[in-house]
Amino acid sequence: MSVMQEFKEFAVKGNVIDLAVGVIIGGAFGKIVTSMVDDIIMPIVGSIFGNLDFTNLYVTLGKVPEGTAPTLAALKTAGVPTLAYGNFITVAINFTILAFIIFMMVKQVNRLKRETPPAPVATPEDVVLLREIRDSLRK
């Protein structure tokens, strides 16, 4: 079998196609969740903590040049080493929210996929007859 034939068989298998579709849908879903977290949830969380924007929490680790604005973006542009723990908090919250949303989606899909258990198989007639004979002999 040639390499091209093997590749063709591999590429058209259902699992590869399903994986490709999953990656594409996952990328689009990731953008939706990122927007939801950044534009809807984080402002609410920030307002609960007093209009706090986590992304601007940092500690400078080096000397700040004069005339540099005290913002994380300006410090990074100036090349000042900073410990941006606020960005880490934001990413951790985003991950937690994303993981929870995916958990809820998988839970719903599993609930929808749950099949009704098959009806119990009827006991064969000869077994029923043997049980009746056994029960009548016990009396």
| pLDDT tens-digit series, residues 17-41 | 778 888 888 888 888 877 887 788 7
Q: Is there a single domain that holds both residue 87 and residue 113? A: yes
Q: Is there a single domain that holds both residue 36 and residue 57? A: no
Q: Is there a single domain that holds both residue 129 and residue 74? A: yes
Distances (CA, A) of 95 to 4, 30, 38, 132: 41, 11, 12, 63
Q: Within a domain: residue 48?
A: no
Residue with tokens 């929808």: 112
Distances (CA, A) of 129 to 86, 122, 123, 124: 75, 13, 10, 9
Distance CA 26, CA 31 (A): 9
Q: Within a domain: residue 47?
A: no
Contact indicator for 93, 45 with CB cutoff of 8 Å? yes
pTM value surpassing 0.85: no
Q: Is there a single domain that holds both residue 64 and residue 34? A: no
Q: What pLDDT does residue 42 have?
A: 74
Residue 58 C-beta-side C-alpha neighbours within 13 Å: 18
Q: Is there a single domain that holds both residue 36 and residue 86? A: no
Q: What pLDDT does residue 133 have?
A: 92
Structural domain harbouring 94 = 53-138
Q: Is there a single domain that holds both residue 62 and residue 9? A: no
Distance CA 7, CA 45 (A): 49
Sign of the dihedral through C-alpha 22, 24, 25, 29: positive
Read off the pLDDT band of 14 (50, 70, 90): low
pLDDT at 118 exceeding the cut of 80: no
Q: Is there a single domain that holds both residue 59 and residue 97? A: yes
Q: What pLDDT does residue 62 have?
A: 85
Q: Is there a single domain that holds both residue 36 and residue 81? A: no
Q: What pLDDT does residue 134 have?
A: 92
Q: Within a domain: residue 46?
A: no
Distance CA 135, CA 116 (A): 34
Instruction: For residues 96-121, give the mean pLDDT.
Output: 80
Q: Is there a single domain that holds both residue 67 and residue 131? A: yes
Say how many domains are in the chain: 2
Q: Is there a single domain that holds both residue 114 and residue 63? A: yes
Q: Is there a single domain that holds both residue 73 and residue 128? A: yes
